[in-house]
Amino acid sequence: MTALMIQGTGSNVGKSLLVAGLCRAARRRGLSVAPFKPQNMSNNAAVTDDGGEIGRAQALQALACGLPPHTDMNPVLLKPETDTGAQVVVQGKRLTSTKAREYPQLKPRLMEAVQESFTRLRAAHDLVIVEGAGSPAEVNLRKNDIANMGFARRADVPVVLAGDIDRGGVIAQIVGTQAVLDPADNAMIAGFLINRFRGDPRLFDDGYTLIAERTGWPGFGVLPWFADAWKLPAEDALDIDTPMRSGGLHVVCLALSRIANFDDLDPLAQEEGVRLTMLGPGRAIPGDADVVILPGSKSTRGDLAFLRAQGWDVDLAAHLRRGGHVLGICGGYQMLGQSIADPDGIEGAPGADPGLGLLQIDTVMTGDKRLTETRAHHAASQIPFHGYEIHIGRSDGPDRARPFAWVGERAEGAVSADGRVSGSYLHGMFRDDAFRAAWLAGFGVVASARYDATVDQVLDALADHMEQHLDIGALLGLAR
C-alpha cells in the first residue's frame, strides 16, 4: 500500500471528514497512515511540532492517525488576505503574498515542494491518504495544477471521486465531472462514493446504478449524514454549526470577513450551559449577549473596517454599558486597542487605523511571525493551560500591566481596569478543559464537556459509520 486520493465534485462536499474517517479506519487496521493535502486554502491554521503551520483539517486528520501535525501534511497553504490575494505558506513558512492572477506562475515551483513532502510521508508510512482541493472539474485551473489531477498524475495516486447528495444534483456532479476531464485524468479515477445522504439510502439505488453505468466507475457506497460532524473542528467558517439551545451563558462571536482560527470556539459550543451564536454581517449584537468574542483575523485592519461597517462598534459600546464582557483573541485583541499601525504593509496597504479604544494598548505589525505552542497560567484563576500563538504584530500599553495570562514570567495579553474587556494572543485556550471550566465558572457556569476526549470518540464513531456504509476494505485496497 502507498497512497489513495479523495477528490470531490466541488468544495465543501465533505472531503476532509472522509479522509479523517479513512485515516482512523486504516489506523485501526494496524497500518501506519498519514494525511496529505498538497494545497489547502484556509485561514484556519494549526501550529505544528516542527514550528510551522498547516490547515486545521490536516491537524484533525493527523489526530485520526495518532500522529502529531507536521508541515509535510499540507505543504502549500493559501491564507486569503483580500478577495483577490493570499499569503502563500510553503512547508509551514510564509513564502510570499500573491494576487490570484499571479498564482499560476508559482505553481511549477510549488509542485517541487509538494512532491518533496509527499515523498517523505510515503517513505515513513504504510499508507498516505490524500485530500484534493475544490474540484478537478474546474478544468480552467488544470494547467500546472498541484491540488487535484496534476498531483495525482505526477505521483501516480488513484482517485476516488466523492459527490455530495445533500446539495442536490449528485448524478450531474459525478457524470459531469467525467464529461469535462480529459481521458488521461479520467483514467486516474478508480471509483466514486456518495456522501451526506439523508433518509433511506436504498431510495438512491437507481441513481447509484445510473452513475456506475454512465461512468463505468465502480461505486464504493452511499454514506448517510453523520450527525456528530459538528463536534469536530470545521475547515470552513461557513461550516460552523452550533446546537440550538435556549438559556445559558450567551456567547456571541463576530463572524468577521477574514475570520481565522475560528475553531477556538468549538469547545464552548459543546458545553450544555453555553449558547454560542456566530453572528453574521448585517445582524446587530443581541441585547441578551453576556460575552462578545472578537476572533482572530487574517486581515486585522480590514476586518476592523468590516466590523465598523456592520455597526458592531456601536453595539459593543452598548453591550458594555449593559454590563457585558468582551474577549478579543489574536487579531480581535489588536482591534480592541487604541491603534493598529502597519507601516510596512505586512497585511495590506501601509498605514494606521484607530482601534475600538476598549483596551489601553497600541499594536504595530511586524514582519516576524510568532508560531509556537504555549503553556501559560490564566492570571485571574491561576489555572495552567495549553494554547498556541500564530500571529504577527506586537501590542503594548498601560493595560498590559493587568495581563490576561502569564507565559513563564512574561505577561501575555491585557485586561481593562474594570475587568470586563480582555484580550490575548493565545489561540486554543478553550480546548483545555481546566481553563474552560475556570473561565466559565467566572460567569456562574459549570463546565461538563471533555473536549479532546470527545473529538477522539467522534473520530472513532465516524470510522464506525464509514465501515458500516462504505466498502472500506476495497477503498484501501486501491492504494498504490
CATH code for the domain of 433: 3.40.50.880
The one catalytic residue among 330, 391, 465, 469: 330
In-domain check, residue 456: no
Whether 65 is catalytic: no
Does any domain span residue 477?
Answer: no
Are residues 385 and 257 both part of a single domain? yes
Domain range for 124 is 3-230
**Is 427 known to be catalytic?**
yes
Helix (H, G, I), strand (E, B) or coil at 42: coil
**What is the spatial order of strands in the sheet that 76-80 belongs to?**
39-41, 76-80, 85-90, 93-99
- Assess whether 301 and 197 both reside in one domain: no
Write down the pTM of the prediction. 0.91
Domain's final residue, options 183, 209, 230: 230
Dihedrals phi, psi of 283, to nearest 5 degrees: -115, 135
Q: Are strands 339-342 and 351-354 parallel, antiparallel or unpaired?
A: antiparallel
- Residue 45: its H or E element: strand 45-47
Q: Are residues 82 and 226 in the same domain?
A: yes
Q: Quote the number of domains for the chain.
A: 2
Judge whether 145 lies within some domain.
yes
What pLDDT, on the 0 to 100 scale, is given for residue 247?
A: 86
Is residue 455 assigned to a domain?
A: no
Cβ-based neighbour number of residue 465 at 10 Å: 19
Final residue belonging to a domain, choices 174, 208, 230? 230
Query: Do 208 and 264 sit in the same domain of this protein?
Result: no
pLDDT at 239: 55
Given CA atoms 381, 293, 325, 416 in this order, what sign does their dihedral have?
positive
pLDDT for the residue numbered 85 = 85
Same domain, residue pair 185 and 111: yes
Looking at the structure, tell me whether residues 134 and 17 fall in a common domain. yes
Q: Which of 70, 325, 427, 465 is catalytic?
A: 427
* Residue 234: predicted pLDDT: 75
SS (H, E, C) 274-336: EEEEEECCCCCCCCCCCEEEECEECCHHHHHHHHHHCCHHHHHHHHHHCCCEEEEECHHHHHC
Residue 299 covered by a domain? yes
User: Does 13 lie in the same domain as 148?
Assistant: yes
Q: Name the pairing type of β-strands 127-131 and 3-8.
A: parallel
What lies within 8 Å, CB to CB, of 436 at 6+ separation is 267, 268, 271, 429, 430, 447, 449, 451
> Is the domain of 205 the same as that of 253?
no
The three state secondary structure string of 445-472 is: CCCCCCHHHHHHHHHHHHHHHHHHHECH
Q: Are residues 442 and 374 in the same domain?
A: yes
Residues 197, 289 within the same domain: no
pLDDT computed for residue 43 by the predictor: 87
Whether 267 and 153 map to the same domain: the answer is no
CATH number at residue 210: 3.40.50.300
Last residue of a domain, one of 195, 230, 265: 230
Residue 469 belongs to some domain of the structure: no
Domain presence at residue 460: no
How many Cα atoms occupy the beta-carbon half-sphere of 142 within 13 Å?
14
Please indicate, yes or no, whether residues 42 and 142 belong to a single structural domain of this protein.
yes
Is 475 among the domain residues?
A: no
147 forms bridges with which residues in the sheet?
none
pLDDT at 423: 98
Q: Looking at residue 410, what is its pLDDT?
A: 95
Would you write out the chain's pLDDT as a tens digit for each of its 480 residues? 699 999 999 999 999 999 999 999 999 999 999 999 999 998 889 999 888 999 999 999 999 999 999 999 999 999 988 787 889 999 999 999 899 889 999 999 999 999 999 999 999 999 999 999 999 999 999 999 999 999 999 999 999 999 999 989 999 999 999 999 999 999 999 999 999 999 999 999 999 999 999 999 999 999 999 999 999 987 655 555 567 788 899 999 999 999 998 889 999 999 999 999 999 999 999 999 999 999 999 999 999 999 999 999 999 999 999 999 999 999 999 999 999 999 998 888 899 999 999 999 999 998 888 888 999 999 999 999 999 999 899 999 999 999 999 999 999 999 999 999 999 999 999 999 999 999 999 999 999 999 999 999 999 999 999 999 999 999 999 998
